[in-house]
């Protein structure tokens, strides 16, 4: 079987990610195959809904397969990554705007690129093993694949907190933050998938859903709002350094593992996106401004080197003192003109 299994079963278009040993990390070819399937099924009256799931217990999808991006980047071929991200974001947008129900089953790790394919559909189901996060700042990117939209829509200042700490959300927290819709024990998922395929009716999901327990973000929201209310990364860091309590201490520790430039840009993106003009199109455009420049001007290649290639976990970030100039943030997020993302 290939890295992705695409077929029609009953009334459902089925997409199953099948790289369990690689935590179902998305390759470029997988993204293109998914997009082609969504395009085919859009006008196919025999397909009533789409079901997206994955093989293995450890992950729905732990992110994108970034080894090729790194190799092309260090060779100076920045166009490869720019095209990859543009094509991936087009898929994310199609899932978000799809006219038919898209049901995803998100076991284990759902991170980065996995959020892009698993968390933009109409019915997002989590179970006890689910761990959802946006850890991009840790490799010199910003929360992307439409994730910045979800962070900006999350209650209070959760967007800043989740975006720059890469904190993981279990099922209850994922639902609270807006990254998932329903909790269902994973032992029930095969029967649910069979029902959906046979009936083409998503009403069975809400009837079978249960209440998730164990969440913490709801009770921590007031503290998060106070700690992450700053206008810039510098403001947030000052607040955290002067705060007492274990939560602030742990949050600060998590932020120190990320690229300061990426974290500063993430905070700025949250502030730009919030408001009445918020849209998926605006979020993806802003994300692409950063990722378009990430290999040449950002910390992306260094972040991948430290995390994936050399695995020394000791990246040499730009602005290592976390004092990121406003001009540096503005440069990464300025409009791309003729090179802007086209959806």
Residue at token pair 């913490």: 216
| SS3 category, 16 | strand
Q: Which CATH class is domain 4-339?
A: alpha beta
* Contact (Cβ atoms closer than 8 angstroms) between residue 53 and residue 89: no
Q: Return mean pLDDT, the chain.
A: 96
- Using CB atoms within 10 A of its CB, is residue 131 exposed (0-12), middle (13-18) or buried (19+)? buried
The β-bridge partners of 124 are 104
Q: Which distant-in-sequence residues (6+ apart) come within 8 Å of 151 by Cβ?
A: 134, 143, 158, 159, 160, 162, 163, 270
Average pLDDT over residues 320-332: 96
* Contact (Cβ atoms closer than 8 angstroms) between residue 255 and residue 165: yes
Q: What is the predicted pLDDT for the residue at 88?
A: 97
Give residue limits of the domains in the chain.
4-339
The count of C-alpha atoms lying within 13 angstroms of the C-alpha of 119, restricted to the half-sphere facing its C-beta, is: 35
Torsion sign (Cα): 66, 130, 210, 156: negative
Token pair, residue 250, equals 């742990």
Task: Give the pLDDT band of residue 45 (cuts 50, 70, 90).
Answer: very high
Task: Give the pLDDT band of residue 276 (cuts 50, 70, 90).
Answer: confident
**Gyration radius from the chain CA atoms:** 19
User: pLDDT at residue 3 above 70?
Assistant: yes
Q: Report the alpha-carbon distance of residue 329 to residue 263 in Å, rounded.
A: 10
Task: Give the pLDDT band of residue 286 (cuts 50, 70, 90).
Answer: very high
User: pLDDT at residue 73 above 80?
Assistant: yes
Q: What percent of the chain has pLDDT over 70?
A: 100
* Contact (Cβ atoms closer than 8 angstroms) between residue 317 and residue 263: no
Q: What is the predicted pLDDT for the residue at 130?
A: 98
Q: What is the predicted pLDDT for the residue at 245?
A: 92
Q: H/E element holding 60?
A: strand 59-61
> What is the tens place of the pLDDT at every residue in 297-309?
999 999 999 999 9
Question: What is the dihedral angle through the alpha carbons of 297, 77, 95, 299, rounded to the nearest 10 degrees?
Answer: -30
Q: Report the alpha-carbon distance of residue 229 to residue 233 in Å, rounded.
A: 10
What one-character-per-residue DSSP string does 108-137 give? Answer: BEEETHHHHHHSSSSEEEE-TT-EEE--GG
- Which ranges in 99-216 belong to alpha helices (H)? 113-118, 147-153, 158-165, 171-177, 189-199, 203-208
Quick one: how many helices (H) and strands (E) in the chain?
16, 9
Question: What is the dihedral angle through the alpha carbons of 88, 92, 95, 98, rounded to the nearest 10 degrees?
Answer: -100
Residues making up the chain, counted from first to last:
343
- The bridge status of strand 12-17 relative to strand 131-133 is unpaired
* Contact (Cβ atoms closer than 8 angstroms) between residue 155 and residue 149: no
């Amino acid at each position: 079987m290939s890295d992705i299994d695409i077929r029609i079963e009953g009334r459902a278009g089925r997409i199953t990610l099948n790289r369990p040993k690689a935590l179902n990390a998305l390759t470029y070819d997988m993204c293109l195959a998914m997009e082609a399937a969504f395009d085919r099924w859009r006008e196919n009256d025999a397909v009533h809904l789409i079901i997206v799931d994955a093989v293995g217990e450890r992950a729905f999808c732990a992110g994108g397969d970034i080894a090729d991006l790194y190799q092309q980047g260090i060779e100076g071929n920045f166009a490869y990554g720019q095209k990859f991200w543009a094509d991936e974001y087009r898929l994310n947008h199609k899932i978000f705007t799809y006219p038919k129900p898209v049901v995803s089953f998100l076991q284990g790790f759902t991170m980065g690129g996995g959020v892009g394919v698993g968390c933009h559909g109409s019915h997002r189901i989590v179970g006890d093993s689910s761990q959802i996060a946006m850890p991009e700042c840790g490799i010199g990117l910003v929360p992307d694949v439409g994730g910045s939209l979800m962070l900006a829509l999350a209650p209070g200042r959760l967007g800043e907190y989740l975006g720059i700490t890469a904190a993981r959300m279990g099922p209850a927290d994922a639902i609270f933050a807006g990254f998932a819709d329903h909790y269902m024990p994973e032992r029930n998922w095969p029967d649910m998938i069979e029902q959906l395929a046979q009936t083409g009716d998503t009403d069975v999901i809400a009837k079978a859903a249960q209440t998730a327990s164990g969440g913490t973000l709801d009770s921590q929201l007031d503290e998060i709002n106070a700690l992450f209310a700053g206008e810039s990364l510098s403001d947030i860091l000052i607040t955290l350094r002067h705060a007492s309590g274990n939560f602030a201490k742990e949050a600060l520790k998590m932020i120190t593992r990320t690229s300061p430039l990426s974290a500063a840009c993430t905070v700025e993106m949250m502030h730009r996106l919030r408001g009445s003009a918020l849209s998926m199109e605006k979020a993806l455009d802003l994300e692409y401004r950063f990722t378009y420049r990430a290999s040449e001007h950002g910390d992306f290649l260094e972040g991948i080197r430290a995390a994936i290639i050399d695995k020394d976990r000791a990246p040499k970030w730009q602005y290592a003192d976390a004092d990121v100039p406003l001009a540096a943030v503005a440069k990464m997020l300025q409009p791309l003109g003729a090179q802007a993302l086209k959806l």
